[in-house]
Amino acid sequence: MHYSQLIEVFICVVSVLHVSASPVSVSDKLDTGSSPELERRAKIQLFHITNAAAANSIKEGGAKLQVKPTIGDDFNPKGTGGFYVTDNKNEIIEWCKGRNAGGNRAKTNCAELITFEFDDSALSSLKVHKFTLPASSEKKDMEPWMSTPDFEQWHEFTSLCTHGEQTDEDVKLAADLANSGKDLDLVIGPMVSTEWVRQYAFRTTKALAHLKFVSVAASGV
């Protein structure tokens, strides 16, 4: 091979190596819109326990905001719609049994466990307020949480929703919690009397649109 031909081969090899080593943009390497792994990572399971008739209605027509005209819920004042779910399957079953005082009433009202799927990335498009939870149900773990400003906010907000007024008017609620958080789509935080369990209170149809029915099964109560 002539010397000039060797030079040409060397130049070609260097050119190929240069191209293969050139940087690739992140957008070229990662298509976040089509990655099954990323989609699974963004979705969480949420649970709702109810009677058979309500479960069938949700299965057929999806979850709806439940309006209580005379009483308020933890994160919803009376007369406003809300739909509550949790990420703790076992605890919500125990809560329902206790609320219905066991026996046949519990078996009826807690008969069906509905599983939903929620895309956690939807939080960026919703107006959300999220409270912290205590470390556990142990008294020693509850006390540090109860001394935090977030606990005070949670306590006064739940009082405002359930009773129509705060128990301590000296606690100024955060701006998004004022007027019972009327502009919020979703409130996430502890359940009253079961504070170590996280609940999601869907307050608008916009928020509920991101809650997808997966399945319904007997709760085992």
What pLDDT digit, counting tens, does each position of 20-73 carry?
333 333 233 323 343 444 445 589 999 999 999 999 999 999 999 999 888 899
Domains of the chain are 36-218 (3.90.228)
Model confidence at 6: pLDDT above 60: no
d(CA 67, CA 65) in angstroms, rounded, equals: 6
Percentage of the chain modeled with pLDDT above 70: 81
Task: Name the band, by pLDDT with cuts 50, 70 and 90, for residue 102.
Answer: confident
- Each residue's pLDDT tens digit, 152-161: 999 999 999 9
Q: Give the pairing of strands 81-86 and 66-67.
A: antiparallel
**Amino acid at residue number 85:** V
Query: How many residues would you count in the chain?
Result: 221
CB-CB contact of 201 with 187 (8 Å): yes
